[in-house]
Amino acid sequence: MKVAVYHNSHDVRIEERPRPKPGPGEILIKTKACGVCVADTMEWYLSPKAPLVLGHEPTGVVAEVGQGTTKFQVGDRVAVHHHVPCLVCSHCRRGNYTMCATFKSTHIKPGGFSEFFTASAIHVERDILKLPNDISFEIGTLVEPLACVIHGIRQAGIEAGDKVVLIGTGAMGLMFIQALRFWGVRDLVVYELLEWRKQKALEFGAEVVVSPKDELDQEIVRLKKLFGGEKADKVIIAAKDISAMNLGMSLAEKGGTILFFATPHPDEYIKLYPSEIFFNELVIKSSYSADYTDTRRALDLLTWGEVEGNKVITNRYPLEDLSEAILQTSSREGSLKCIISFEGE
């Protein structure tokens, strides 16, 4: 089988490897599509681990089942989540599944950017979802990233009626817009610098999309007018730029929550003023990955059309062009979600 082996964003090599065999309780999946994540562009994170096979947003067809596997059958159409929790550790018992050591150590093998991959017995048990017939393999690749959006909404404690600021409208930000509306949010102000992305945000249902003013005091005045006299109850920072994070820290109302959803380089930082956090009772949260409860909600939203997956996917590539797909994802030039398509192979 063909496997795309990552060395760096500019160097992805196609190798031939033996087709894996599923062990007891496992399944073998023939890949049909796999999304390219912004995390796949982070060379500072990936290069020290290279060479490796990336791809954690895959869909496919069950090609073979291991001994004792009864939950899935050959021919089933599935979306596979790459991480699964143990359900019994201290983190899992508190519901913090994404902090579980098992969650972080479990992976599909060798990865979604290969013609076939295996999913372990606990993947089979806990977080492989059958795709409805009316959900394409391409749209199914959005289950994992949309699940991350849903996880972020839950982490921020967003409720119907909240005044929400969203900073950043890449593919994730656009899915936030539609998911927030499903959650009952009607007061939403979206911040974006790129004109073409501002237009996309409007197409995805945002009613107020702006670029921040040069002077922060002026921006706060504008935001209060938009929200009827207050700043935001919840601020979602879905951009990895430090400038976006600095802006977001200033837009929350007293008692508000600021959610860090994107990952900057580990050497980058922002200034925090503890007295401001203290006197205003601000809550600072973060959101990493998604768990098995989020993936099921994500598939529901895609199935119901609450999140329009066909509008999120903009670029399709064969496996041989994975490097180009990664570079396109990192460029922010005219594309939203890039996927690798195996359809027809």
pLDDT tens digits for range 51-96:
999 999 999 999 999 999 999 999 999 999 999 999 999 999 999 9
- Please tell me the predicted confidence (pLDDT) of residue 332: 80
Q: What is the CATH number of the domain that holds 205?
A: 3.40.50.720
pLDDT at 345 over 70: no
116/212 same-domain check: no
Q: What is the CATH number of the domain that holds 126?
A: 3.90.180.10
Query: What pTM did the predictor assign?
Result: 0.97
Rounded to an integer, what distance in angstroms lies between the CA atom of residue 248 and that of residue 271?
A: 12
Q: Which of 83, 75, 88 is nearest to 119 (CA)?
A: 83
216/116 same-domain check: no
135/151 same-domain check: no
Determine the straight-line distance between the first and last CA of the chain, rounded to whole angstroms: 11
125/105 same-domain check: yes
Cβ partners under 8 Å of residue 271, min gap 6: 246
Measured N-to-C along each axis, helices 292-304 and 171-182 cross at an angle, to the nearest 10 degrees, of 80
161/277 same-domain check: yes
Rounded to an integer, what distance in angstroms lies between the CA atom of residue 13 and that of residue 19?
A: 17
pLDDT at 3 over 60: yes
Buried b / exposed e over 218-228, threshold 16 CB at 10 Å, is ebeeebeebbe
Rounded to an integer, what distance in angstroms lies between the CA atom of residue 104 and that of residue 167?
A: 27
Total tally of structural domains belonging to the chain: 2
What are the φ/ψ torsions at residue 101 (nearest 5 degrees)?
-60, -40
263/337 same-domain check: no
Q: Which of 307, 5, 315 is nearest to 144 (CA)?
A: 307
Indicate whether 317 belongs to any domain.
Answer: yes
- The band of 97, judged by pLDDT with boundaries at 50, 70 and 90, is very high
- Please tell me the predicted confidence (pLDDT) of residue 68: 96
- Please tell me the predicted confidence (pLDDT) of residue 343: 79
88/57 same-domain check: yes
- Total number of residues shown for the chain: 345
Q: Taking the alpha carbons of 323, 237, 181, 195 in that order, is the dihedral positive or negative? A: negative
The structure tokens listed for 140 are 């199914």
210/329 same-domain check: no
Domain membership of residue 282 as a residue range: 147-286
pLDDT at 236 over 90: yes
135/250 same-domain check: no
Rounded to an integer, what distance in angstroms lies between the CA atom of residue 28 and that of residue 76?
A: 11
Instruction: Over range 283-290, report the average pLDDT.
Output: 98
- Please tell me the predicted confidence (pLDDT) of residue 15: 98
59/92 same-domain check: yes
Indicate whether 300 belongs to any domain.
Answer: no
User: pLDDT of 302-325, one tens digit each?
Assistant: 999 999 999 999 999 999 999 999
- Please tell me the predicted confidence (pLDDT) of residue 344: 59
Query: What average pLDDT does the chain have?
Result: 97
Indicate whether 66 belongs to any domain.
Answer: yes
pLDDT at 2 over 60: yes
Rounded to an integer, what distance in angstroms lies between the CA atom of residue 137 and that of residue 128?
A: 14
User: pLDDT of 144-159, one tens digit each?
Assistant: 999 999 999 999 999 9
Rounded to an integer, what distance in angstroms lies between the CA atom of residue 152 and that of residue 157?
A: 9
Instruction: Over range 11-30, report the average pLDDT.
Output: 98
